[in-house]
Amino acid sequence: VGGFSKGMRQRLAIARTLVNDPDIIFLDEPTSGLDPVATREVHRLIERLSHRGRTVFLCTHNLVEAQRLCHRVAVMEQGQMVAVGTPRELAHTSGVDRRYTLEIAPDQAEAARAAVTPRAAVSAVATTDAELTLTVNDREAIPDVLAALGAAHVRVYAVVPQQTSLEDIYMALHRRKGQA
């Protein structure tokens, strides 16, 4: 075993954990050292275990992995649990600003930017030829933003809310804890 690669040792550790078919499984950084194919296999295994009614505690620094695999998340910082909930609950309670991408008529980016920039609830604006990406601190501001765009004769074809990532949530919690 000592001559195995890190990835092979990781797979062996997971296999040893599962040999007795436990109801509760603790996995500490299960994809550390694995190549993308092996990582995907571990993800599928975790999903199968969950579908079979097993409880899997996943300890990871990989927030993308946690967002993909976990139904509930506990955020730890300096050994303290600072938040617990579903990713959606954490996004709602962490104070993360929400992002929306609006599909607009081509060549109306500057008019769109000018229409939404003075709004207090809009904290950031990015544009391309046919997209306007807004960061807002209150989703209730979206109807006002749409009204302002309409008043500026900007044609909006779609409004797509962007999913808040666990990394965004973690950073918001980290900033908030630093201010306490």
Q: What pLDDT was estimated at residue 54?
A: 94
Q: Is 172 inside any structural domain?
A: no
- Shared domain for 13 and 67, answered yes or no, is yes
Q: Is 155 inside any structural domain?
A: yes
Q: Is 176 inside any structural domain?
A: no
State the average pLDDT for the chain: 88
Last residue of some domain: 71, 88, 110?
Answer: 71
- Shared domain for 21 and 62, answered yes or no, is yes
Q: Is 101 inside any structural domain?
A: yes
- Shared domain for 58 and 105, answered yes or no, is no
- Shared domain for 101 and 140, answered yes or no, is yes
- Shared domain for 148 and 108, answered yes or no, is yes
Q: Is 55 inside any structural domain?
A: yes
pLDDT band at 33 (very low <50, low <70, confident <90, very high): confident
pTM: 0.68
The pLDDT tens digits of the residues spanning 115-162 come to: 998 888 888 888 888 999 998 888 888 999 999 999 999 999 999 998
Both tokens of 85, joined, read: 């909930």
Neighbours of 171 (CB within 10 A): 14
Number of domains in the chain: 2
- pLDDT at residue 179 above 70? no
Rounded-to-integer distance, Cα 47 and Cα 57, Å:
12
Helix, coil or strand: residue 7: helix
Rounded-to-integer distance, Cα 50 and Cα 179, Å:
37
Residue 29, amino acid:
E
Q: Is 157 inside any structural domain?
A: yes
Q: What pLDDT was estimated at residue 180?
A: 46
Last residue of some domain: 56, 71, 86?
Answer: 71
The pLDDT tens digits of the residues spanning 44-73 come to: 999 999 999 999 999 999 999 999 999 999
Domain of residue 103: give its range: 97-162
With 0-12 / 13-18 / 19 or more C-beta atoms within 10 angstroms meaning exposed / middle / buried, residue 101 is: middle
Region 77-84: what's the mean pLDDT? 87
Last residue of some domain: 71, 86, 117?
Answer: 71
Residue, of 10 and 134, whose pLDDT is higher: 134
**CATH code, domain with 104:** 3.30.70.100
Q: Is 82 inside any structural domain?
A: no
Q: What pLDDT was estimated at residue 26?
A: 94
- Shared domain for 58 and 113, answered yes or no, is no
Q: Is 137 inside any structural domain?
A: yes
